Chain A
Amino acid sequence: MSIIVPELGEPSGPTRPIRAQSVFGRLLHRPMAVVGIIIIAVVVLAALFAPVLTPHDPNEQYFEGLTLEGAPLGPNGQFWFGTDLLGRDLLSRLIVGAQTSLIIGVVANGLAVIIGSLVGITAGYFRGIVGAVLMRFTDLMMSFPALLLAIVLAAIFRPSLWIVALVIAMVNWVQIARVLYTETRSLSEREFIEAERSLGAGSMLILWRHILPHLVSTIIVWATLGISTTVLLEATLSFLGIGVRPPTPSWGNIIFENQTYFATAPWLVFIPGAAILLLSLAFNVLGDALRDILDPTQQGRAA
């Protein structure tokens, strides 16, 4: 095994202004990024135009969608992705489910990442009282009985997707905050940060220009893996009654409802599972590509 040590640019060189147009242009030169963009575009379009695109009514329990013994049908000419345990068309439910899953995986998860980054970086850089208070609050939230909170919220408010999104954002920021806290704590003690400080650079400038760029890859990891976990978490929360109500589909609840049947009706678990996987992978390759293009410390490197 040999080590490929990348060529280095200026470790803390000045950021050159980058035009949006040129970023997009450079993305298009990366095949992986193009595939990612296409997948994301397909999912977004499916969510937006679901009513037009579904081949069947996603909530109709077709009489011919079940065998006489009540078993679901595998993929076939009429139902391309097969039917579920109630005889509904899986493809149509998958298309409609993209709406819920995008809101959870992208909006709620994105919110969690932003909150977590703000808290973690602030606490790691400023430390002292601010850091201690923020991190103890993080500890508190980490041991918080979130499921219990979810059940109580469900009883007080009308169940809705937005409550689920809120709960997920509230619960999921803590992990990323902890990780970024530790990394920032280490970064802010480095020589080049000390040097900037002694030159009189403001905290905001140091954070923005010298700390954040080093954290971007961690943030991408959490943001993209978070898509999968939050989409599945939504199903758990909906199961407890706080989220989308049946028969509204989401990718998570399709898996959750059918997982015990995966040996006899594998399409009901593996097809929505593949959808979640593809969406999070697409965001991951896109994120990596964007990071490579925008990262000032990595100018000139190809992935």
Chain B
Amino acid sequence: MRRLLLSGIALAVMTMASPVFAQAEKQGGSMIVTYKDDVATLDPAIGYDWQNWSMIKSLFDSLMDYEPGTSTLTTDLAESYTISDDGLTYTFKLRQGIKFHNGREMTAEDVKYSLDRVTDPATQSPGAGFFVSIEGFDAASDGSAKGLSGVTAVDPLTVEIKLTRPDATFLHVVALNFSSIVPKEVVDEFGADFGKHPVGTGAYSLAEWTLGQRLVFARNADYWKAGVPKMDEIVFEIGQEPTVALLRLQNGEVDVLGDGIPPAQFLEVKDNPDYADMIIEGGQLQTGYITLNVTIPPFDNLDVRKAINMAINKERIVRIINNRAVIANQPLPPTMPGYTEGYEGIPYDVEGAKALLAQAGLSEGFTTELYVYNVDPNPRIAQAIQQDLAAIGITVELLSLAQANVIEAGGAGTAPMIWSGGMAWIADFPDPSNFYGPILGCSGAADGGWNWSKYCNEDLDAMATAADSMIDPAKQADRYKAWSDVYMGVMADAPWVPVFNEQRFTMKSARLGGPDAIFVDPVHIPVNYDYVFDKNVQ
């Protein structure tokens, strides 16, 4: 048994230096945050939407978390942990005296209960699949066993989790919202309505919820981190069209635009010097890509896929969305560990694309279909792609549909091409493996899976599994190199056209303080509420 120091596991994320958090800010004040879409639930086992993701993070805690504004792992409810030499047993030592919002002290039994609950098929959690490496997952998810046999509460402050295979991403998994610790008695009391009556251990507790209108979070006075959170109260106003939310922010009525700056007003706001200090730009662990279905001719031909990669004018596409993105040349976004520096990608080369098509015997071109989610700017981007492909003789018919229909066509494998925008992959956790399995690996290529290219390369799958078995923190760099090799392998087969990585632009009122990074937090998406403070109470 080897005790690991936290600093050893910390991710080497070059581009996101951890900001220094002054603990000195006074607590107090409140802020108003707006969102367009309704909050469906605050149950951490269920919630998987843009607007409830970071709300849940403020109401609940997990064993692990990230340094605010970064993707650097740190302990949270766990005080420390050890990993066995074979990488199969994780032992978490819990912090003492952590209390749920209802006043009861949290114990190891709660951790076990929470993990059992999220993997129980009756919970219908969209995150259950993340726990696949825990021993007893199969039996729990097909209902033949109650609870995960691999999770045991050794004593009130110790939890032991046994895995069936080494999983280098496991600490990220127990940092997910889905791993949040919930109190059994409250879940039992409210049943399926727990999502409307959430009780956790987080920095804020739910004080008021008027369905479809507003939610009020109040500061958790018993929160274990000294001086956190900063605000006394957060008010979320729901159902606000982003254009109107912006008008209200300009009018001093709201403090944070949860959905960011609306595209239609982006240039106007960005070019206005009055707002220069209120706009915050940040990267996002996101890639927008075109999937090429390798099971549908002529996309089964590598030359054709490469030709399409060469034909797309990514620079123009980025210009169409007002330069709110950076050009991508590989599946991973640049801020993700494992990103291959110095890789040129497949260059934009219309003549080369035509030559490759001719080589594939398709000098006359062909007709195909591109599916796209019907919300702006995606149909526009799809039309730019359509024009680029027309230049090399490919006639593209656009099918602009509701999100669920595009996902269905992608899963069933009937869509030759899909533009991923609007449904695109935003990382669940900042690790390169998260961009592989479901969207490029063989498991995701099954019927209904999210690997819309239906691309399955057994060799790369083996390399990926090997990379995720490298749990030795001293070999972290090797692991990232292994992942880099996997994605270079993907690029060699070209099942995707990586197009761009979106930049996030958000806007906050001048009175809100805190490091810029927490307003575009890569994990607490979109905002890490716990560390935002009110300049007026300082």
Taken together as a complex, chains A and B put the C-alpha atoms of A151 and B401 apart, in Å, by: 9
Query: 1/0 per position for B307-350, CB-CB distance to A under 8 A?
Result: 00000000010011111000000000000000000000000000
User: Would you give 13 A-B contacts (Cβ < 8 Å), ordered by A?
Assistant: A60-B387, A61-B384, A66-B320, A69-B323, A70-B320, A85-B380, A159-B399, A241-B374, A241-B399, A245-B399, A246-B398, A247-B398, A263-B265
| In the complex, the 6 A-B pairs of residues with the closest C-beta atoms, listed nearest first | A260-B264, A241-B401, A70-B319, A70-B322, A261-B264, A246-B398
Chain A residues lying within 8 Å of B264, measured Cβ to Cβ, are 260-261, 263-264
Assembly CA distance A151 to B384 (angstroms): 25
Question: In the complex, which residues of chain A have a beta carbon less than 8 angstroms from the beta carbon of B382?
Answer: 246
In the complex, chain B residues 121-161 whose Cβ is within 8 Å of any chain A Cβ: none
Q: In the complex, A98 Cα to B168 Cα: how many Å?
A: 60
> Considering the complex, which residues of chain A in the window 217-262 have a beta carbon less than 8 Å from any beta carbon of chain B?
239-241, 245-247, 257, 260-261
Given contacts A68-B319, A70-B323, 15 further A-B contacts (CB under 8 A): A61-B383, A63-B316, A66-B319, A66-B320, A69-B319, A70-B320, A70-B322, A71-B322, A86-B380, A241-B374, A241-B405, A245-B398, A247-B398, A260-B376, A263-B265
Report the minimal beta-carbon distance from B488 to chain A, rounded to whole angstroms: 31
Q: How far is the CA of A155 from the CA of B415 in the complex (A)?
A: 13
Does B265 contact A264, Cβ atoms closer than 8 Å? Answer: yes
Q: Report the nearest B residue to A61, measured CB to CB.
A: B387
Residues in B with CB closer than 8 Å to A246 are: 379, 382-383, 386, 398, 400
| Chain A CB within 8 A of B267 CB | yes
Q: Is A70 touching B321 in the complex (CB atoms < 8 A)?
A: yes
Verify if A154 is at the interface (C-beta below 8 Å from B).
Answer: yes
Minimum CB–CB distance for B300 against chain A, Å: 24
Report which residue of B263, B380, B382, B384 has the largest number of chain A beta carbons within 10 angstroms of its beta carbon: B380
Q: Are A69 and B376 in contact (CB under 8 A)?
A: no
Q: Which of A281-299 contact B (CB under 8 A)?
A: none
B380 x A154 contact (CB < 8 A): no
How far apart are the CA atoms of A60 and B388 in the complex, in Å? Answer: 11
Most buried by A among B263, B264, B316: B264
For residue B429, give the distance in angstroms from its CB to the closest CB of chain A: 32
Interface residue from A86, A155, A263 paired with B405 (Cβ < 8 Å): A155
Choose from B316, B374, B397 the contact partner of A240 (Cβ within 8 Å).
B374
Q: At the interface, yes or no: B262 with Cβ under 8 Å from chain A?
A: yes
> Within 8 Å of chain A (Cβ to Cβ): is B243?
yes
- Cβ-defined contact, B374 with A239, below 8 A: yes
Q: Which residues of B contact A241 (CB under 8 A)?
A: 374, 399-402, 405
Q: How many A-B residue pairs have CB under 8 A?
A: 74
CB-defined interface of B347-384 with A at 8 Å, one 1/0 digit per residue?
00000000000000000000000000010110110111
Residues of A within 8 A of B402 (CB): 151, 240-241
Complex formed: what's the CA distance from A257 to B263 in Å? 13
Which residues of chain A are near B380, meaning CB under 8 Å? 85-86, 257
Compute how far the CA of A85 lies from the CA of B263 in the bound complex, rounded to whole angstroms: 11
Cα of A239 to Cα of B378 in the assembled complex, Å: 12
Q: Provide the residues of chain B in CB contact with A85, threshold 8 Å.
A: 320, 377, 380
Instruction: Tell me, in angstroms, the Cα distance from A61 to B301 when the chains sit together.
Output: 29
Question: Within residues 241 to 256 of chain B, which ones have a CB less than 8 A from any CB in chain A?
Answer: 243
User: How far apart are the CA atoms of A257 and B267 in the complex, in Å?
Assistant: 18
The answer to whether B458 has its CB under 8 Å from any CB of chain A is no
Q: Find the B residue at minimum CB distance from A247.
A: B383
Q: Determine the chain A residues whose CB is within 8 A of the CB of B384 once the complex forms.
A: 61, 86
Is the C-beta of B268 less than 8 angstroms from some C-beta in chain A? Answer: yes
B256: shortest Cβ distance to chain A, in Å?
21
User: Whole-angstrom distance between the alpha carbons of A32 and B22 in the complex?
Assistant: 74
How far, in angstroms, from A151 to B403 measured CA to CA in the complex? Answer: 12
Residues from chain A with a CB closer than 8 A to the CB of B376 are 257, 260
Bound Cα distance A136, B494 (Å) = 58
Instruction: Output the nearest chain B residue to A84 by Cβ-Cβ distance.
Output: B380
Interface centre among A63, A85, A154, A263 (most CB of B within 10 A): A85
Nearest opposing residue in chain B for A158, CB measure: B397
Residue of B at shortest CB range from A87? B320
Task: Report yes or no: B397 in contact with A245, Cβ–Cβ below 8 A.
Answer: yes
For the complex formed, measure the closest distance between the CB of B423 and the CB atoms of chain A, giving whole angstroms.
15
Task: State whether A86 touches B243 (Cβ < 8 A).
Answer: no
Q: CA A297 – CA B384 in complex, angstroms?
A: 58
CB-based contact B322/A154 at 8 Å: no
Residues in A whose Cβ lies below 8 Å from that of B383:
61, 86, 246-247
Which residues of chain B from 24 to 42 have a CB within 8 Å of any chain A CB? none
- Contact for A260 among B243, B268, B374, B379, CB less than 8 A: B243
The answer to whether B262 and A260 touch across the interface, beta carbons within 8 angstroms, is: yes
8 Å CB interface, A49-67 against B: 59-61, 63, 66
Q: Which residues in B have their C-beta under 8 angstroms from that of A151?
A: 402, 405
Closest chain-A Cβ to B150's Cβ sits at a distance in Å of 43
A247 and B322 within 8 A (CB): no
Q: Collect the chain A residues with CB atoms within 8 Å of residue B399's CB.
A: 159, 241, 245
A60 and B400 CA atoms in complex are apart in Å by 19
Task: List, in ascending order, chain B residues with CB within 8 A of A260's CB.
Answer: 243, 262-264, 376
Could you tell me the distance between the alpha carbons of A264 and B263 in the complex, rounded to whole angstroms?
A: 11
Q: How far is the CB of B168 from chain A (nearest CB, A)?
A: 40
Instruction: Give the nearest-CB partner of A261 in chain B.
Output: B264
B406 nearest in chain A by CB position:
A241
Query: For residues 400 through 449 of chain B, which have their beta carbon under 8 Å from a beta carbon of chain A?
Result: 400-402, 405
Picked from B267, B320, B401, the residue with its CB within 8 Å of the CB of A86 is B320
Closest chain A CB from B312 CB (angstroms): 13
A131-164 CB mask vs B (1 if < 8 Å, else 0) is: 0000000000000000000010011000100000
Q: Mark B267-287, 1 if CB is under 8 A from A, else 0.
A: 110000000000000000000
Closest B residue to A243 by beta carbon equals B400
Residues of the A chain whose Cβ atoms lie less than 8 Å from the Cβ of B397: 245
Q: Decide: A154 near B267, CB < 8 A? Known: A69-B322, A86-B380, A239-B374.
A: no
Min CB distance A40 to B, Å, is: 31
In the complex, A117 Cα to B380 Cα: how many Å? 40
B residues less than 8 Å from A68 (CB atoms)? 319
A160, chain B: closest CB distance, angstroms: 12
When A61-B387, A66-B319, A246-B383 are in contact, do A264 and B268 touch as well, CB less than 8 Å? yes
How long is the Cα–Cα vector from A60 to B263 in the complex, in angstroms? 23
Within 8 A of B (CB), among A266-284: none
- Least Cβ–Cβ distance between A233 and chain B, in angstroms: 16
Say whether B320 contacts A71, CB under 8 Å. Answer: no
**A264 and B401 contact, CB distance less than 8 A:** no
Chain B residues positioned under 8 Å from A60 (CB to CB): 387
What's the Cα separation between A155 and B398 when bound, in Å?
14
Complex-state Cα separation, A85 to B322, whole angstroms = 10
Q: Which residues of A contact B323 (CB under 8 A)?
A: 69-70
Interface positions of A from 85 to 102, Cβ below 8 Å from B = 85-86
* Chain A residues near B377 (CB-CB < 8 A): 85
Given contacts A61-B384, A69-B267, A241-B402, A257 and B319 within 8 Å (CB-CB): no
Q: How many whole Å from B378's CB to the nearest CB in chain A?
A: 11
Give the residue name and chain of the A residue nearest to B381 (CB): A86
Specify the chain B residue showing the minimal Cβ separation from A260.
Answer: B264
